[in-house]
Amino acid sequence: MAETLTSTYGPWGIVAGGSDGVGAAFAQGMASRGMNVVLVARRLPVLEACADDIRAQHGVEVRTVALDLGSPGALAALARATSDLEVGLFVYNAGGDDRSVAFLDKDLDTHLGLVHRNCVAVLEAAYRFGGPMVDRKRGAMVLVTSGAAWAGGATLAAYGATKAFDLILAESLWAEWRDSGVDVLGLVLGRTDTPSLRRAEEAQGRAYDGKSADPKDVAEEALDHLAEGPTWISGSSTPTGGSPFGGLNRRHAVLAMSRSVSALGGKLAGKEEQHGRSVSE
């Protein structure tokens, strides 16, 4: 894949949520394969630092676009800012939630913001940037989702629902675009070592236990398997397999998911850390 990323998909890639964690790891991996990258996130100083590091290491072109992807008009602004580029790979990695609490213990605006960032913006990104790929008959999209998508669970109502939306969207687009030269991958993350995860651990008074995936490994694995969609379960021994809940009926799957959250103090690692809630985005 290192030799064929740009020739197969195009010269530029966009990473939404590209300032640190899994997003920054994707940007580094894409740049190491010769792809120019656009980094998108809210914090411009962090974006610029990441961009400088990528330029120094890999000698590619890097643009930064400071946007809140949860705000109306953000994807239209991103499309305008990149209208002169042939975008061959789009990674949507924004949309984490590092606070698992009961549904009614979060205010309504927080829930609605999550839905906009994880559903509305993802769909708009796929439409705005996937359309030109289909027209050119080459390109790839990665929608980063979470094992919280496998089943409902206590304290995961809005987050799990949005990640299920992303998973089904990725799988559906893969089915529609697979004969158009466009690869789509729904990347299912488990517990991953990111700044967001560390902050969540600190906020809950717990020392980080070191039992998480390395963001670099997650990104490299996905980049190596872009054409093997629709779904890739990061770190799994059967990454193209189905739900780790297997043959459990829906009620038992929901109860198992809820026990996982409760046992881990509000953060999912889950069965073999494959249906865990990601706070890495």
Please provide the DSSP assignment of 142-179 as one string: EEEEEGGGSS--TT-HHHHHHHHHHHHHHHHHHHHHTT
Report d(CA 88, CA 197) in Å as an integer.
Answer: 30
Residue type at position 156: L
* Known catalytic membership, residue 159: yes
Cβ(22)–Cβ(219) under 8 Å? yes
From the candidates 9, 127, 159, 208, give the one annotated as an active-site residue: 159
Report d(CA 277, CA 260) in Å as an integer.
Answer: 10
Cβ(10)–Cβ(86) under 8 Å? yes
Q: Is 118 helix (H, G, I), strand (E, B) or coil?
A: helix
Please name the helix (run of DSSP H) or strand (run of DSSP E) that holds residue 91, with its range, or none.
strand 87-92
Which residues lie below 8 Å from residue 247, measured CB to CB, with a gap of 6+? none
User: Helix 21-32 to helix 44-58 angle, to the nearest 10 degrees?
Assistant: 30
10 Å CB burial of residue 210 (0-12, 13-18, 19+) is exposed
Cβ(188)–Cβ(146) under 8 Å? yes
- What amino acid positions are annotated as catalytic residues? 159
